[in-house]
């Protein structure tokens, strides 16, 4: 007899984050700027605890734009050496946000 897992609904924690705590910074790279110009998709570094719904709400609130879709990636930290010791950079979360065709975000 198999057990069924209960599906978790809602946020990962009971803590609610403000919009400026969810979207940490925009990622301004060549690849990101190409996606912004061609596909109206913008990439951000976001809080690892944030869900897609949280990210959508934060971008709509901070930039006053309409969000069509949100895609997220969990990025693993890179190995780095400092003097004689090895370590890693921190793990972080990336979000790619697609806006309504009429909306644009200007970083410059």
Q: Can you read off the two tokens belonging to residue 27?
A: 């990622």
pLDDT at 6: 52
Q: What digits encode the pLDDT tens for the residues 36-94?
A: 999 999 999 999 999 999 999 999 999 999 999 999 999 999 999 999 999 999 999 99
For each of the domains in the chain, give its residue range(s) and CATH number, in order of start.
20-99 (3.30.70.330)
Spatial strand order of the sheet with 92-99 comes to: 23-26, 41-46, 92-99, 67-75
Distance CA 43, CA 4 (A): 36
pLDDT at 4: 62
Residue 15's pLDDT band (boundaries 50, 70, 90)?
A: confident
Residues 92, 75 contacting (CB under 8 angstroms): yes
pLDDT at 80: 96
Distance CA 90, CA 61 (A): 27
Distance CA 71, CA 13 (A): 20
């Amino acid at each position: 007899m198999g057990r069924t897992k209960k599906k978790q609904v809602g946020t990962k924690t009971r803590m609610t984050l403000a919009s400026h705590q969810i979207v940490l910074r925009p990622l301004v790279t060549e690849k990101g700027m190409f996606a912004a110009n061609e596909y109206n998709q913008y990439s951000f570094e976001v809080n690892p605890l944030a869900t897609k719904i949280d990210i959508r709400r934060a971008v709509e609130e901070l930039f006053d734009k309409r969000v069509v879709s949100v895609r997220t990636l969990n990025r693993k930290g890179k190995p780095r050496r400092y003097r004689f010791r090895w370590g890693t950079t921190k793990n972080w979360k990336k979000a790619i946000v697609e806006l309504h065709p009429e909306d644009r975000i200007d970083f410059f």
